[in-house]
Amino acid sequence: MIFASSNQHKKIERAGHAIRQGELVIFPTETVYGIGAAAHNPAAVAKLYAAKNRPQFNPLIVHCASKDAAFSLVKTTKLAQQLADAFWPGPMSIVLTSIKNSPICSLARAGLDSVALRVPANPICQELLQCAGMPVVAPSANPSGRLSPTDVAHLDSALMAKCAEVIDAGKCEAGIESTIIDARNKIPVILRPGPITHSQIEDYLGTKCVYASSVSSPTSPTSIAPMAPIAPGQLASHYAPIAPLRMNATRKQEGEIFIGFNTPHADFHLTKTGNLEEAAAHLFDMLHLADKQNPLAIAVAPIPNIGVGEAINERLERAAAPRN
Ligand code: TXA
Ligand code: MG
């Protein structure tokens, strides 16, 4: 993790100012790089959707500096309070019912009466949120449907050109997007697996999680639906490299780049030791690297479907799904 230098502090201040002025800014979080806009400003949010070419039915996550700031925007629940106490600041987004007359513009919520909230832990992101002084909507900083960036080297130049500032803080620690939990009721519903695993949540709460029908679970690993009403953004094809992707590959076929998991003969390695956190942190980096070689396909070794391996497999399934 990189802390801000004095030049970096100035850049973050400029970025905070740019957000208040309705501009777009790319910044690091502990999961992936985000592209942020003022959550209350429909013109800024429209610019963000257009820059990413993101369908406007796909709502955005609202990033706040603190739990109090986040919960002032929603009808909170006991479950949400418990999750926030345990996992914020950190890589978890919590979906709750929005208050009436929310300052978060309806476009950012894709017209839903719910909103996804996140309080990130990355110190540079925290500083930016303080400087902006307002909630910031931030999807991953990639053209819609493409691989998320975990390093500024992954950023799309056309997307960068649409931003007032790009804050570079090296590689993102977790490397995959936040776990999204619907906490509107008593039972936690996993809308997107992520760095905080279902077992961590279950151990803390002493309650079982359930999986939204759009999400593959350990018991039904291939059940990705084309679209689920509860998480409109969970399209079957997502996080996709340019090259087609083949999962659970045990060996490389002609023209392929082979990404290994504890596999000695691979071209690139998610991990050489079988460490799932390391594999998650390297996932998008390796997919970006493999894609740059213009292979016929990218083959990825089997990833154990346990712990954060679940989130890795979910990303791979979407990357491998038929494209529109
Ligand atoms: O780690 C992350 O969450 C990153 C960083 C930048 O914070 N952001 C991120 O945003 O991954 P994005 O836009 O790429 O993914 C947001 C997901 C989408 O699948 C969207 O459908 C879902 O959050 N989402 C947002 N609001 C929702 C809501 N009210 N109900 C259900 N799903 C929601
Ligand atoms: Mg994304």
Helix orientation angle between 276-292 and 309-320, rounded to the nearest 10 degrees: 20
Is 261's pLDDT higher than 70? yes
Dump pLDDT digits (tens) for 124-170.
999 999 999 999 999 999 999 899 999 999 999 999 999 999 999 99
* Three-class DSSP category at 8: helix
From 63, 67, 38, select the one nearest 115 (Cα to Cα). Answer: 63
Rounded-to-integer distance, Cα 262 and Cα 301, Å: 9
pLDDT value of position 5: 78
Q: What is the pairing mode between strands 165-166 and 92-98?
A: unpaired
State residue 172's pLDDT score: 98
Query: What is the structure's pLDDT at 1?
Result: 55
Beta-carbon count within 10 A of 273 CB: 9
Each residue's pLDDT tens digit, 194-235:
999 999 999 999 999 999 976 766 655 444 443 344 454 466
Which residues have CB under 8 Å from 157's CB, separation 6+?
none
Return the pLDDT at 232: 45
pLDDT of residue 3: 65
Q: Measured on CA atoms in the order 198, 200, 204, 206, is the torsion positive or negative?
A: positive
Q: What is the pLDDT at residue 229?
A: 40
**Whose Cα sits closest to atom 12 in ligand 1?**
139
Q: Are 137 and 61 in contact (CB under 8 A)?
A: yes
Best residue for ligand 1 mutational test, from 49, 57, 61, 144 (most atoms within 8 Å of Cβ): 61
In percent, how much of the chain has pLDDT > 70?
Answer: 91
Question: Which residue's alpha carbon is nearest to atom 30 within ligand 1?
Answer: 231
Model confidence, pTM: 0.93
2 pLDDT more than 80: no
The pLDDT of 244-270, averaged and rounded, is 96
pLDDT value at residue 223: 42
- pLDDT for 239: 72
User: What are phi and psi for residue 151, nearest 5 degrees?
Assistant: -160, 150
Strand bridging mode 210-211 / 189-192: parallel
Residue 60 near residue 144, CB atoms below 8 Å: no
Please tell me if the CB atom of residue 125 comes closer than 6 angstroms to any atom of ligand 1.
Answer: no
Assigned token pair, 188: 């936690």
What's the CA-to-centroid distance between 154 and ligand 1, angstroms? Answer: 20
The answer to whether the CB of 176 is under 6 A from ligand 1 is no
- Both structure tokens of 268: 């690139």
Cβ of 177 closer than 6 Å to ligand 1, yes or no, is yes
The residue to which tokens 């740019």 are assigned = 18
**CB-side exposure of 219: number of CA atoms within 13 Å?**
6
* Cβ of residue 34 lying under 6 Å from some atom of ligand 1: yes
Strand pairing class (92-98; 179-182): parallel
Q: Classify strands 74-75 and 92-98 as parallel, antiparallel or unpaired.
A: antiparallel
- Point out which residues pair with 55 in neighbouring strands: none
Query: Tokens 């009436």 label which residue?
Result: 100
Q: Which domains does the chain have, with CATH numbers?
A: 6-180 (3.90.870.10), 245-320 (no CATH)
Q: How far is CA 202 from the centre of its chain?
A: 21
- Does the beta carbon of 128 lie inside 6 Å of ligand 1? no
Residue nearest to atom 6 of ligand 1 (CA): 34
Of the listed ligands, the closest to the CA of 93 is: 1
Cite the DSSP H helix spans in the chain.
6-20, 42-52, 67-71, 78-87, 123-132, 157-161, 198-205, 276-292, 309-320
Q: Is any atom of ligand 1 closer than 6 Å to the C-beta of 102? A: no
